[in-house]
Structure 1
Amino acid sequence: MSLLAASGIEAGYGQMRVLTDVRFEVEEGEFLGILGHNGMGKSTLLKALCGEIPLTRGAIAFADRDVGKLAVHARARAGIGYVPQGRQIFPALTVRENMLMAALGSGRPATVADRVLAKFPRLQPIVDRAGGVLSGGEQQILALARCLCGEPKLLLLDEPTEGVQPSIRDEISDTLLRLRRDFGLTLLLVEQNIQFMQSLADRVLHMEKGRVSAGHDEAAGALAF
């Protein structure tokens, strides 16, 4: 069953169009990967899906609801979670405060933050430490945990391995697979690390010049480049 469907979407920045007639679906419970070189529109696609940039054409259906014109916070409350490239945590807030902000901002009770924290053993000893003093890998894990405090049905994850050491990369992969098993999480992953992509994705699409190529052969080719 399709959880997300993008139908001919186009978007960009001002007069510069980045996405052109993008069409694809994400099945409920699926881990879908998007591969492509820098500048091909991968991050722009995630921003368009979560509402950070408006569509100029096309439609986005999520859980059988048209969400293409909803604001960012409305899409988040509908169940679309987004972890951007660069993490964008609150550096002056503690780990716990970052998570509480995410839960309350999404209309969830504060107890959700404690439930999510229990799934992230690495964060538990540093829960009272400011986000800004964490390592890059710890910040990435915090960004993921913070997003999950909104209890998303679909997680949009942009370049999670960037600047992260291999042990943390493996930990993120294991955590996502565990969350899928325990909660039926659906994931749309933008990534350039092929090994990480192979460890997670059921299916891989290739993005080039603002367009998405679908199909088994093209996906296999994307993994090979």
Structure 2
Amino acid sequence: MLQLVGVHSGYGQIPILRDISLNVAEGEFVGILGHNGMGKSTLLMTIGGTLPATDGRIEMGGQDITRLPVHRRARMGLGYVKQGRRIFPRLTVRENMQAACLAGGQPLARAEEMIALFPRLAPIAERPGGVLSGGEQQILALARCLCTAPRLVMLDEPTEGIQPSIREEIVEALLMLRDRLRLTMLLVEQNEAFLGALCTRSYCLEKGRLVA
């Protein structure tokens, strides 16, 4: 589903990622583990297209996407839940999800299907996103991403600032989605226990290089 070969990336003249090669099979959950500042978010932004790869090759489903713009990658089925969630605070939960359906060319009925998959969202569907707890916002961000019918989902620090009970709920939801939707997922995290509960394997990123 995803393959990186010798990928380099950075910010202007500042190199961050060095010679990154990894692969994610269809239906697999793979983790990226590392401390702050090691290049984890840079890696996801490079795969997603918001940062250009300065060298190397990125393939999705066997197609070279290294030079494709963000919207083309999204249309190919690449979903990205960024750190900080990035929901629309003034829109309701339902409106957030309907907006994602429209952006992804999906029928609005898909929003209702995703609400049904996440029991926590149904009772708060008419609340503005900005009044939700951090855990509720994270679940909304994930459900909103799924409204675009992605084949591969990238999650950036999904447990950041979230209480343990919500973390467990997110683990259960992701395992359920893997079985029902046959999702493929790449998760960036610092929480080893969270990755261990979800991923068949993980890569360790240190100072822009995969070291294990």
- Range class of TM-score, shorter chain: over 0.9
| Superposition map of 1:32-181 within 5 A | 32-181=30-179
Correspondence 1:12 to 2:10: yes
What is the TM-score normalised by the length of structure 2?
0.98
Task: Give the aligned partner of residue 223 of structure 1.
Answer: none
Per-residue CA deviation, residues 121-151 of structure 1 (Å, 9 max, x unaligned), is: 1000110100000000000000000001111
The 1-side partners of 2:108 and 2:49 are apart by 25
The 1-side partners of 2:148 and 2:14 are apart by 32
What is the aligned length? 212
Per-residue CA deviation, residues 177-213 of structure 1 (Å, 9 max, x unaligned), is: 0000111111101001111111101001110111113
Specify the SS of the correspondent of 1:86.
Answer: coil
Gaps of 5+ in 1: 219-225
Task: Give the aligned partner of residue 190 of structure 2.
Answer: 192
- Code of the residue aligned with 2:76 in structure 1: it is A
- Code of the residue aligned with 2:148 in structure 1: it is G
Specify the SS of the correspondent of 2:8.
Answer: strand
Gaps of 5+ in 2: none
CA contact (8 A) 1:9 1:55 kept: yes
The 2-side partners of 1:194 and 1:104 are apart by 36
CA contact (8 A) 1:73 1:106 kept: no
Specify the SS of the correspondent of 2:19.
Answer: strand
- Code of the residue aligned with 1:61 in structure 2: it is E
Identity of aligned residues (%): 58
Runs of 4+ with >2 A deviation: none
